[in-house]
Chain A
């Protein structure tokens, strides 16, 4: 892989005696859709926090978009987008206000923010909704908008933490088409999910168990290796051996 977007080597994080992430090594290539799976408590969130520059590792090395997680967390934050189901947009701001807020946070100029807002509202077909409060929009709309806002500053990588939880099956699939589209355009996508069918949409998938990456391959490769019909079967076989909970 030339110039991987994410490169982790023996990346480790301990909390007291507890090793949340235990010497994980992996690479994610540019434009790749990388599925980051694991049971509750396997260490996914801790790993993601290190890769997004929010948490300093205890040991090991990692670079994200070419920047070092120890020395350059602020540069990392500028080059990544982040979206989760739990936190994304401000409910009591309108669609346009949310876009403006994030544009400001990411240091875009006024002119650029205006242009981006128009583009985004058009692309999502939200012209009639642009002055509505986010809180009044259906969940599916919020999620599509949150995803677009996470991409507002044209990041190299976007981290999606369970982006589709609770969404209806059609909207969930529309969301994945958005993901395909940005990956096709070259953005790297790092995504966690509890929907095992979504793991099949990824180029490669890793499965964390008890702080380690126990499997990492293409969905087809994993199924072959574990002689399983689907990723759910692979996941259950690996995660059933887990020792620890959340």
Chain B
């Protein structure tokens, strides 16, 4: 069959509405008689609520209603957590605070008014009497003796201790020539999707149906959870993810406001809109990362790593959001990275603190793993006097060793790690750069070359490994006119699956891209699905589309054989939109004709149902494991500590590529978020638990002027896990780039004897390190 679309850099089909300003995000939705909600949030990180007086607010102009925690505690169930670790402590998480507040930004009361200005005014009229309590902000302090307790009922801030072992770690350390150890911090980050969260809810009492439009990555999972929280039948609840302005994991959740606004719509009998401000977004949308690790490596003199021991503390924040405790376990699973390291021990302690919850943020646990290990590889190289490349090459598994079993219990699907690193070195001119580095050092200039080789766990994932199923669904519906509608359970919000899936359909059915429409994000239209996260939408969701297409093609072929008067279905071929007899190609029908015949149903084979559509639920047999090598080249100004990029080279292998434009876009965006973590970003709470970086004026995400030109290239090792060979690419850049950049800066600082600095590597920190050297 002539393939026209898969593999080509096709401009996106979803773009027209976005570049003309005609797409619909939550705040663009207006319903008749709609009213506006605004939320009063805690100004203390830890306090008892003595009184919440809403009388003045109730009397304020335009105000329709005001509710506190006490008003809604019976009506709305707790905010859920889906991860189940052994002995996990799960605090009660009401949608509006009851006796205590546990972090700055925790919702206390909600005002509903006729317009958003009046709702905001009335928030200022609510009087809260707090009894401030000592807050605990630092996760290490939180689990030490005598710390203030976030949730008194537990008597401890330790929410869980999770361990993972493989091989014989004690033996590895006995047999080591050298032990290299390093304490490192992977700082708390704020995702900052450009569209803050927002919810519109409308209740139709006649039908008993609640519709919730919300900026989410997981409309179906959210529907199930909201139904429970609100005591509604799941088939009376419709969740719609309209255009979603970025998520990065921060909208892979079930938030208090989603249930609260739904409740308000039912209670007040009017549509209600709530739109998060950026300040609220900083305070009360999930944060990411927030790990502290002590890592020890047992190493032979030649650079062979025998074993790794990790002691990790995860800063959880005050409550569990949907996947809070599960995220660091991904760090554990990926703790041996792209290397043959047979012995592993990981211990992760989850610590409650008086801060917003951490949860998935692009990469979700894997950037931490890659950062720990890639920093360690450079530390090992430094200790042993080896080139960082040498240490990595020595520990890679060979291509023929795949599927490659890890000490953490995974089986990497396919890979050629040497090839990716060699390609990156070739592109950047590694040997020449090392010479230049030497020459520049003579002149007092400090060039740094940083390498990161990574493998990530993607296409999440087999259902047993995920709290709520790891499959994905698709329906392919061929309309009577031959147009094709795809309903996907994935919920893309920028990744471009409307295009990627249309490419698959167009090639498989021989139709044009314009004939295909991909619909997602509406639980009343689309069959149950899981959603978009974990670099899964194309690898798992795309495979579901492919599976549904095979079913459609099979039926259409059967029907075409019948219509062509051919008894042997195997003699019917389908190419370029035509069915024909292999031994008599003149006997042919168009795909459109067959589609129409399926609906007219005048002449169907016996036992064949009318219509032409199929639904396929794809359950992957394994995760996929994309990999690659990134090299950053920087120069450090020794006088100011300023870091300037010279080059950035990325070689990624995400399996088979459906659309190189989309893949490049994902890689670029990921690298730049990573650059943010390496150099700029950090969620800073002061000792009393106030978020100091609570606005874009204080929390720096990368601007166009902070970013170097990115040179990207690929190797292509198909995954055997799905028929399209796709691995996934949504998070690769975010996972790979952070350590590449940090390694580059520390390589530049090597002449000063600086072995490690914690991120973000702001100029002052570098300047101090140089000065202290």
A-B complex is real = no
Interface residues of B (CB under 8 A from A): none
